[in-house]
Amino acid sequence: MSTPAAEHPSIEILSLYATGDLPFVQRFRTSVHVRHCAACEQHVLTFQSTKAELRRESQGEVLTGYEAIADWQALEADMLGNIRVGVAASRCIENVGRRSRPGFRLAWGTGMAALFMAGWVARVPADESGRLISVLRRVVGLDQAPFNGTVLRSTRDGISVKARGATLTILHPESAVISMSGPASVTARYVDDDSGQVTITNVYGQ
Amino acid sequence: MIPGKSQLRMSTASNLRFISQTALLLLLAPVLSHAADERGKWFDVEFPHDSPVVSVGFDFGPSTITSRGPSMVIDLHAAHTLRNVGTKPICGLTLRVEAQDLSPHGRGSVIKPSLFVLPGEEFPVKVDMQLVRPISAARSESAMVQVTIDCALFSDLKAYGPDKLNSKRTLMVYEMEARRDRQFLTRLLDGGRLPELREELNFGNQDFIPRQLGLELLTGPRTIPAREQALTVSPVNFPKGPVQPLGGAAQVAGNEVRAPRVDIRNVSKLHVVSVAMGWIVRDGHGTDFVAGALTSRLPIGPVQTSFISEAGTLRFSLPSGAPMVIDRLMTFVNDVEFADGTVWIPSRDDIEAATQDYILRRELATSPEEQRLASIYRREGTDGLKKELKRVSLSNSKPN
C-alpha cells in the first residue's frame, strides 16, 4: 500500500521509533504507518540494523572479556537482591496502621498507581519497559536467563564465529563472495591475487 | 616441538613488533606473563607424521598483538609453503583452524580447491585471521591457535585426513564442478566458440564479481519476531537431477529467515546419504542472490520422499550493511551423495534448462574453478587459458 509522501513521519521520528524511544501515542501512530509503508519500513530496518551492529561492535570490542561480563552479572545480582529486600520490607510494614481509614488508603494508593502507570506508558520508552519486565519475569521465575548461542557473521573484511566470549575471524579481501555452506557454517570465496589460486575460508558454529 | 610440527619463524621486523606488543600487554595485564614466557605456544601448525603435505616454509608477515578494552586482539597473517610429499597429485586441501577459547563451539578452515600439485611440488597457503579473546581467560598448555590438516583430496578422488569438517565431500563437489567447467571451456576453445568463451569468462572484466550479500547465522533459541509470517519456498528443478525439490516453506520476518523446510523426492534408483540444498534469495527489488547450500545427512531410498528442515535463524543484508527485505525464497538441489560414495552435481545442460533467467543461470554455474580460470583469462588471455587447461589435464592424467 502506498502512502503520500506528505504523510510520512520525519526521519527523526522513524529513528526514534526504530530504537523504541518514542512515547506511547506517537509510537502507536508511527507503527500503524510503518506497517503499511514499505519505504518507511526499510528506513526502520536500516536504523535497527545499524543499532544492532553498533551494539554487537561494542560487545565484541569492550564486553568480550569475562571480567566485564562477570561485573555485569554481579551488578545485576545486586539489583535483584535490592528488589527482593524492598519486597520483604514492604511485607514487614504492610500490617502497620491497618485499622486506620482503610477505604481512603485504598483509593489513594489506587490513584497513585494509576497516575504512575499513565506517566510510565506516556514517557518511558518501550525498550526500557521491556527490559524491566524481562528482569521482573526472571525474578519471579517466568523467564530463563538469556541464552548466549554461537553467532556466525560476515563483514566486509572477514567471516567470524563468536562463542564463549571470544571471536575468531578469518579475513578476506573485499571482493570475496559470501555464502552459507552448512546449517552452521559461513563461507567466503576469493581468488588470491598473489598466487592466482582460489581460497575458500569457512567458520563453523556448533 | 616434534619434527612434524612447524614452529613459527618470524622475520626480524615482525619479531621486534611482537616483542614490543607483548611488553605492552605485560604492563596491562600481569596474567599475560605466562603467555609471554611461552610465546611460541600461541600459534602452532601441526601435521601428522603420515601427512601427504609438510610445511617447508613459514612467514609471519605483519602479525600483531594488541589490547582492546579487556580483550587481547591477535592479528595473524601467516604464509605457509607446503610440499606434496605423497605419491599422488593433490587436487584439494582443507586446513582446520582451531582456537582454544572457542573450542568446541566454533572453528574455522581454509580450503584450497583446484590445486593440481604433483608429488614433490610446493604451493603456498595463507592464513589471515584475527582472534579476540578476554585477557583474563584461562589458558591450557596447547597453543591458542592451532592449524592442522583436515583433508587432502587426490586426483583419483581418494582422500587423506581426519575429515572432522566433512571436508572430503566438500572437496569432491568442488573437484567435480572444476572438471565439469574445464571440460566445458575446453569444448568452447576446441570448437572455436570464442564469443561464447569471452561471455562465459566475463569478457576479462576485472570488476565483475558474483553478487555479494552479508550473512549472519544465529544458532540457539531466540525470541520469535512478532511480525514473522510463512513464505512459500519455490523449487528450481534440474531436469536430470536424481533428487527433486517439491516445495516448502520458511518463516520470514524482514531480513530474517527461520526454520526453512523443503520436501524432496529421490527419483533415482540409488540410495542417497546426503543432499545439499542450494538457496536463492530474492530481495525487494527483484534481484536474486545465491545464498549458498546447506548439506543435510539424510538417507533416502530409491523413489522415496523425505524432507529437510534447518534450525537456527539466518539474517541477510546487502553489501552496504543495510538489511535485505526478503521477497521470495527458491531452492534447488546443489549436489547429492550416494551410498556408494559417488557424488552428483548438475551438468551445464541441467543448469541451462533449469531457468530462463540469464543472470541466475550464471550465478548457478559460477564455480571456484571457473573463478580461477576467469582470473587467468583476464591476465593472460586465450593463450594462457589454453596452457592452464592443458597443464591441469596432464596433471590429472599422471598415473596415481
Specify the residue for cell string 557473521.
Answer: A153
pLDDT at B94 over 70: yes
Contacts of B255 in chain A (CB under 8 A): 45, 49
Specify the higher pLDDT residue, B359 or A171: A171
pLDDT in tens, B139-162: 677 788 889 999 999 999 999 999
Helical pair A11-18 and A24-36, crossing angle rounded to 10 deg: 100
Range of lowest pLDDT (A67-81, B177-191, B386-400): A67-81
Range of lowest pLDDT (A108-112, B162-166, B209-213): B209-213
Nearest CA in chain B to A60: B132
Specify the higher pLDDT residue, A3 or B67: B67
pLDDT in tens, A114-124: 888 887 777 66
Specify the higher pLDDT residue, A7 or A42: A42
Quickly state the pLDDT bin for B216 (edges 50, 70, 90): confident
pLDDT in tens, B309-320: 887 788 888 877
Instruction: Pick the residue of B28, B63, B64, B102 with the most A CBs within 10 A to test the interface with A by mutation.
Output: B102
The answer to whether B107 contacts A168, with C-beta atoms less than 8 Å apart, is yes
Name the DSSP class of A147: P
Nearest to B108 among A50, A153, A170 (CB): A170
Nearest to A161 among B106, B214, B375 (CB): B106
Instruction: Pick the residue of B75, B163, B205, B212 with the most A CBs within 10 A to test the interface with A by mutation.
Output: B212
The pLDDT assigned to A103 comes to 78
Quickly state the pLDDT bin for B28 (edges 50, 70, 90): very low
Specify the residue for cell string 563483514.
Answer: A155
Record the cell numbers describing residue B97, joined without a space: 583452524
A63 close contact with B: CB closer than 8 A: yes
Instruction: Pick the residue of A133, A167, A175 with the most B CBs within 10 A to test the interface with B by mutation.
Output: A167
pLDDT at B116 over 80: yes
Q: Which of A54, A45, A38, A58 is nearest to A18 (CA)?
A: A45
**β-strand B43-46 against B145-154: which pairing, if any?**
parallel
Name the DSSP class of A205: E
Query: How close does chain A come to B291, measured CA to CA in Å?
Result: 5
- Beta-carbon-side half-sphere exposure of residue B367 (alpha carbons within 13 Å): 28
Q: Output the 3-class SS for chain B.
A: CCCCEECCCCCHHHHHHHHHHHHHHHHHCHHHHHHHHCHHHHEEEECCCCCCEEEEEEECCCCEEEEECCEEEEEEEEEEEEEECCCCCEEEEEEEEEECCCCCCEEEEEEEEEEEECCCCEEEEEEEEEEEEECCCCCCCCCCEEEEEEEEEECCCCEECCCCCCHHHHHHHHHHHHHHHHHHHHHHHHCCCHHHHHHHCHHHCCCCCCCCCEEEEECCCCCCCCCCEEEEEEECCCCCCCEEEEEEEEEEECCEEEEEEEEEEECCCCCEEEEEEEEEEEECCCCEEEEEEEEEEEEECCCCEEEEECCCEEEEECCCCCECCEEEEEEEEEEEEECCCCEECCCHHHHHHHCCCHHHHHHHHCCHHHHHHHHHHHHHHHHHHHHHHHHHHHHHHCCC
The answer to whether B209 contacts A196, with C-beta atoms less than 8 Å apart, is no
Quickly state the pLDDT bin for B96 (edges 50, 70, 90): very high
ipTM of this predicted structure: 0.82
Q: How many helices (H) and strands (E) does chain A have?
A: 6, 6
The pLDDT assigned to B27 comes to 46
Contacts of A169 in chain B (CB under 8 A): 129-132
pLDDT at A4 over 70: no
How far apart CA B374 and CA B369 sit, in angstroms, is 8
Record the cell numbers describing residue A122, joined without a space: 506516556
The pLDDT assigned to B321 comes to 76
The answer to whether B133 contacts A194, with C-beta atoms less than 8 Å apart, is no
The pLDDT assigned to B12 comes to 46
The answer to whether B216 contacts A178, with C-beta atoms less than 8 Å apart, is no
Contacts of A64 in chain B (CB under 8 A): 69-71, 132-134
Quickly state the pLDDT bin for A98 (edges 50, 70, 90): low
Specify the higher pLDDT residue, B368 or A150: B368
The pLDDT assigned to B334 comes to 92
- 3-state DSSP call for residue A43? helix
Burial class of residue B9 in the structure, from the number of CB atoms within 10 Å of its CB (0-12 exposed, 13-18 middle, 19+ buried): exposed
Q: Which of B303, B229, B238, B302 is nearest to B276 (CA)?
A: B238
Are the CB atoms for B215 and B316 separated by under 8 Å? yes
The answer to whether B112 contacts A65, with C-beta atoms less than 8 Å apart, is no
What is the percentage of chain B residues whose pLDDT exceeds 70? 83
Note if the pTM is more than 0.80: no
Quickly state the pLDDT bin for A95 (edges 50, 70, 90): low
Put simply, the chain A residues between 123 and 152 with a CB less than 8 A from any chain B CB are: 147-152
pLDDT at A66 over 80: no
Nearest to A64 among B115, B132, B209 (CB): B132
Mean pLDDT of chain B: 83
pLDDT at B32 over 90: no
